[in-house]
Amino acid sequence: MRPMRSRLAALSLSTALALSAALAPAFAQEAGTEAPAAPAAPAPAAPAPEAAPAGDPAAAEMRIKLRESHGDWEVRCAPDESECFMYQLARDAQNNPVAELNIVRLPEGAPAVAGVTVLTPLGTLLRPGLAVQIDGGEKRSFPFTWCDAAGCFARFALDTASIEAYQKGTTAKLTLFSVGAPGTPVELNVSLKGFTAALDSIEPLKQ
């Protein structure tokens, strides 16, 4: 699978936050109930005119800035730091960056604590979905919601129990499959070092 170039980092802040904030179907799945097959309205994509070009990091920096790092997590924010999210690249066994993670704190009173968006390259095999496993714990699967020019997106929510597992864990292993090699899983590692500090440093999204 082709290594991922930074895409979530180049989205406008409003788009990056919307990717994780629009998580109604994932709430149902996280709670163990049947989730609808698709959102009632089209999921927010990254329109080319409003997103910084992939080759223009200076333009992207005008929209999202790196505020601080906690362990292996970055905290990225709006220029005025009014809204922030956690960010990390997920790497394969050869240390190639393949996927990107974006985590936001959901508004107070939401059915879950945080929302996760995972962006994988085009060429991801969609039907198996994305599997997530914390250390030796239960492996959970989440569907890919849609693909666009940036790549393919999977979104899911983290409730209190899930947050505790991430806080206590060492590594989150993501498993996906490539269209080019459907029989060979692509396993990616996400460090959980600094997860708690990074999550505590960001405010919930506003309603």
pLDDT, tens digit, 9 for 90 and up, residues 129-142:
999 999 989 999 99
Q: What is the pLDDT of residue 3?
A: 54
Backbone angles phi, psi at 116, to 5 degrees: -115, 135
Residue 113 DSSP one-character state: S
* List of residues 6+ apart from 139 with CB closer than 8 A: 131, 132, 133, 175
User: What are 31-54's pLDDT values in tens digits?
Assistant: 444 433 333 333 333 333 334 444
pTM of the model: 0.76
Domains of the chain: 8-38+46-200 (2.60.40.1880)
Please give the span between the terminal C-alpha atoms of the chain, in angstroms, as a whole number: 38
CA dist 151 and 35 (Å) reads: 23
User: What are 95-130's pLDDT values in tens digits?
Assistant: 889 999 999 999 988 889 999 999 999 999 999 999
Sole residue written with tokens 């708690």: 196
Q: What is the pLDDT of residue 14?
A: 52
Q: Helices (DSSP H) in 64-176: which residue ranges?
A: 160-168
**29, 123 Cβ separation under 8 angstroms:** no
